[in-house]
Amino acid sequence: MPNHRLIAIIDDDLSYRKATERLLHAYGWECRSFESAKAFLDIDKVEVISCLLLDIHMPEMTGIDLLKQLRSKGIEISCLFVTAHMLSDSQMAIVDKFKAEVLPKPCDAPYLIEAIARACVGSKAS
């Protein structure tokens, strides 16, 4: 896997973020994690991110709301949503509109790595 691609892990669950960071590092990916959508929005260079690994259900701002905000600003980053919950029909319609993939939480490591690789193929960041 190309290690010049930066994956952003945005999830309010610290243990999930840490475990996912370890997994991605083991596969050669660079990653940075954020405890909330707001924390992610506070970074200076969003354009260096190749892929968002984004929890849907977070306090204050959901993953879907974050992606809507990024898209409204013209920021096109590949996105993989992770969730332990079923999505409503309206949530699925939004996910489909943004051409994002939804992964179960927890997700098998090989499946997660393959999904990230697929997402990064179409990413504009390199």
- pLDDT tens readout for residues 69-78: 998 988 888 8
What pTM was estimated for this model as a whole? 0.86
Taking alpha carbons only, the member of 109, 118, 106 closest to residue 26 is 109
Confidence band for 42, pLDDT divided at 50, 70 and 90: confident
Confidence band for 124, pLDDT divided at 50, 70 and 90: low
Confidence band for 15, pLDDT divided at 50, 70 and 90: very high
Share the mean pLDDT of the chain: 84
Q: Where do we find the tokens 């896997």?
A: 1
CA 125/CA 23 separation, integer angstroms = 21
Taking alpha carbons only, the member of 124, 63, 61 closest to residue 98 is 63
pLDDT attached to residue 112: 92
Strand residue runs (E) in 1-126: 6-10, 30-34, 49-55, 78-83, 101-104
Q: Which residue has the higher pLDDT, 9 or 119?
A: 9
Backbone angles phi, psi at 31, to 5 degrees: -150, 160
Domains of the chain as residue ranges with CATH? 6-121 (3.40.50.2300)
What percentage of the chain reaches a pLDDT higher than 90? 41
